[in-house]
Structure 1
């Protein structure tokens, strides 16, 4: 039997001013109708996207701009950690299932913002957060044909490793604003000069989305199941994993 350590920490009971208590719209999320006081999360900097009751009575499962969290006691207590069902032979990470669904929904919402290299015999679509200055990202891109040959379409989203500044950030903005995005991405990953281009680009939004998903480096692959694989996985191993999924 595997030993499982479940860590859950209460981060604290937060005071709320009478003015905040009076905010009627702080109590109900529009998507689910779940009712709890959101003002405590809001003053911590969270934006609530959806919420519903979890499998634990009195605990809400909340999707925020910073990912999945749990709250209890009418939103007064924030719970850190993950929920597992331990009634079977092996523990089941219920939180991971929620996170995967979140990623699937969010990826679908930005599908038209990706730079896509489509496999002729497409079997799977894998979304990759990329940075043109990342060596492993370049290795993946230089071997792109090996993924396409196995029926794996690669869709790129931007995630500048140095944040919203520096050369990678500027390159990504230029790439996504280029008339030929693929040619610009190919050029950037081979240290070729990019022609000037500017537009209302989605780079900041892609970066925020990656942070929400838990991206900490590039490449980070999002599989059709919503599972995230940090780092480079070669085409053969990736195809094998996709077939198992």
Structure 2
């Protein structure tokens, strides 16, 4: 069986003194208490049973967490089903379902490069200052020729207050968004038009999806591939998804 490596799993527990070492995990989703998550600045979007008894599967604006049913213990990491021939990340399946459902909320605010003979659609979180984003964009004709429609979302790597965010707002407010995005990725000037742009919404969605850098490619199934992916490799990934 393929070797399973689980890296970067962290467990955060509320502080306890020696007299309270045993912490109850009893409870149910009906009386799930989100007050501690709220105090930490987390906004709960959905709560479901997790694959492990005693834990709830909680979707927040920062992604997927596992929380005890009494709301007092929190774990960040992946749960794997290891009963089959290969380990399966149940956490990835939950995240994929969340992403696929949320893609509908931004379908009208993307910048789309549509394949003439569309076979697949991918959503790409992009930043025009990112070298690998530029490399992906330079190969746009190859993606389109393979039947891959690309729908861009804005994800400024330096946050919502930097020059990257300002430039992305200008792109999304341009009369010709495709031409403006191409120009921005080539360090050409873009008009400084203003509008009700979706940059904040896209950035928040990327955080929820677990985007940590650009480009980040999301399939319609919700599967996410971080980083630049060559067109020939991407079509294989899509066909096998």
Residues 21-72 of structure 1: CA deviation (Å, up to 9, x unaligned): xxxxxx99xxxx7530010110011100011111222211011111000111
* Equivalent position to 1:204, from 186, 200, 206: 200
Q: Which 5+ residue runs of structure 1 have no aligned equivalent? A: 16-26
Aligned partners of 1:186 and 1:9: how far apart in 2? 40
The 3-state SS of whatever aligns with 1:11 is strand
Residues 89-138 of structure 1: CA deviation (Å, up to 9, x unaligned): 22111011001111111112111110000111100001001111112211
Q: Which structure is higher in RCO with an 8 Å CA cutoff and minimum separation 6?
A: 2
Q: TM-score scaled to structure 2, two decimals? A: 0.89
Residue 115 of structure 1 contacts residue 156 of structure 1 at CA under 8 Å; is this kept in 2?
yes
Residue 124 of structure 2 contacts residue 218 of structure 2 at CA under 8 Å; is this kept in 1?
yes
Pair 1:224-2:217 in alignment: no
Pair 1:116-2:112 in alignment: yes
Q: TM-score scaled to structure 1, two decimals? A: 0.87
Aligned partners of 1:9 and 1:193: how far apart in 2? 44
Residue 54 of structure 2 contacts residue 68 of structure 2 at CA under 8 Å; is this kept in 1?
yes
Pair 1:137-2:133 in alignment: yes
TM-aligned CA distance change 1:113 to 1:14, over 3 Å: farther
Q: Which 5+ residue runs of structure 2 have no aligned equivalent? A: 17-26
Residue 34 of structure 1 contacts residue 53 of structure 1 at CA under 8 Å; is this kept in 2?
no
* 1:12 alignment partner in structure 2: 13
Residues matched between the structures, number = 230
Residue 61 of structure 1 contacts residue 68 of structure 1 at CA under 8 Å; is this kept in 2?
yes
Superposed displacement of residue 225, structure 1: 2.3
**What is the RMSD computed on CA atoms of the aligned residues?**
2.0
TM-aligned CA distance change 1:220 to 1:82, over 3 Å: same
* 1:21 alignment partner in structure 2: none
Pair 1:240-2:222 in alignment: no
Superposed displacement of residue 3, structure 1: 3.9
After TM superposition, where is structure 1 displaced by more than 2 Å over at least 4 residues in a row?
1-10
